[in-house]
Amino acid sequence: MIILLEGYLCIINVLAFALYGIDKRRARTHHWRIPERRLLSIAWLGGALGALLGMGIFHHKTKHTVFRICIPLALVCWILGMSVLLPLL
């Protein structure tokens, strides 16, 4: 069970990181963008660390208050949730 959870979190964080990079590139080239709701949702589904790294490395969505608050909050929630859940497994 723990291995599945680790695999899921790795995949979703890599995906979140990639989506932030893709969206930043598309913003620069004036192409179709990834909706903000999708970028936030992937963080709350477990990709908060990847999203936070993507924000920092790609300098993307760093001026948006919603992202500056919600992404770290999602990460804290996941850390707290895992600290409660993992001892039960």
Residue 73: band (very low, low, confident or very high) from pLDDT cuts 50, 70, 90: very high
pLDDT of residue 1: 83
Tally: H helices and E strands in the chain: 4, 0
- Number of CB atoms found within 10 A of residue 59's CB: 11
Dihedral through CA 61, CA 62, CA 66, CA 72, nearest 10?
110
Per-residue pLDDT tens digits for 13-71: 999 999 999 999 999 999 999 999 999 999 999 999 999 999 999 999 999 999 999 99
Total domain count for the chain? 1
Kindly state the average pLDDT of the residues 73-87: 95
Angle subtended at Cα 13 by Cα 81 and Cα 87, rounded to the nearest 5 degrees? 25
Q: Which domain holds residue 81?
A: 2-88
Angle subtended at Cα 53 by Cα 73 and Cα 79, rounded to the nearest 5 degrees? 40
pLDDT of residue 27: 96
